[in-house]
Amino acid sequence: MDTQSIGDETQQLAPLRVRRRTATQADIAEAAASLFERHGFENVTVEQIATAAGISMRTFYRHCSGKDEALSVGLRAGPDELTAAIRKRRDLPLLDAVVAGFMEVSAGPVRRSELRLILGTPALRMSWLAAGRAAQEDLVAVIHQYFPTITALEAQARSAAIVAILTVVLESWTTAEDDDLQLRSQQALRVLTDW
């Protein structure tokens, strides 16, 4: 086997490891959400989450430092996923790209259920706030791509406004009667252009 073949194999293995890690994190989050919803955050142990996820305690601790991180793993990945989803839609006007990217990463009944748990559990709420701050920082570069002549402060302000609005949309969606996240996000983001 030549050196090129070995290099190609290594590149092919890395994505598989990433996919496995992502799948394990999703399994942990799903198991934790289900247990927290049924028994309450305080009444669930790490061992119960690991068992429900079908993994060992050692594997659990490779992904999370404790049960309070079981759902926040997804939150930490959220800002990167949102930014990537918006960037994929570079051909759209910014707010349309934001709505489309936001829907790609945020919609779904499982996501809604997880958010209810996160927002209703003080130990998890800090992760939610940190994810919002990370999303705000990530979005600045995207805004600069749309508006290359604005100042850094203006890009930060626009990013902060967008993320704050999306946060309000998600938080209100978790307790709303309706299920139309897209309409909610479009209506809420309209305040940026209706002044």
Spell out the residues 6+ positions from residue 120 whose beta carbon is closer than 8 angstroms to its own. Answer: none
pLDDT confidence of residue 33 = 85
41-78 core/surface letters (b: 16 or more CB in 10 A; e: else) = beebebeebbebbebeeeebeebbeebbbbbbbbbeeb
CA torsion angle for 110, 116, 122, 128 (degrees, to 10)? 60
List helix spans (H) across the chain: 3-39, 46-53, 57-63, 72-87, 94-106, 109-120, 122-146, 152-173, 181-189
Clarify whether residues 100 and 49 are in a common domain: no
Clarify whether residues 103 and 115 are in a common domain: yes
Domain total of the chain: 2
Q: Two tokens at 86?
A: 């918006």
pLDDT confidence of residue 114 = 79
Clarify whether residues 23 and 102 are in a common domain: no
Per-residue pLDDT tens digits for 38-89: 998 899 999 999 999 999 999 999 998 888 888 776 677 788 889 999 999 9
Clarify whether residues 89 and 163 are in a common domain: yes
Which residue, of 33, 68, 103, is where some domain finishes? 68
Which residue, of 14, 42, 68, is where some domain finishes? 68
Assign residue 37 the CATH number of its domain.
1.10.10.60
Q: The domain containing residue 51 runs over which residues?
A: 3-68
pLDDT confidence of residue 109 = 66
pLDDT confidence of residue 142 = 95
Clarify whether residues 89 and 103 are in a common domain: yes
Clarify whether residues 116 and 59 are in a common domain: no
pLDDT confidence of residue 100 = 95
Query: Which residue stretches of the chain have pLDDT < 70?
Result: 1-14, 73-74, 108-110, 195
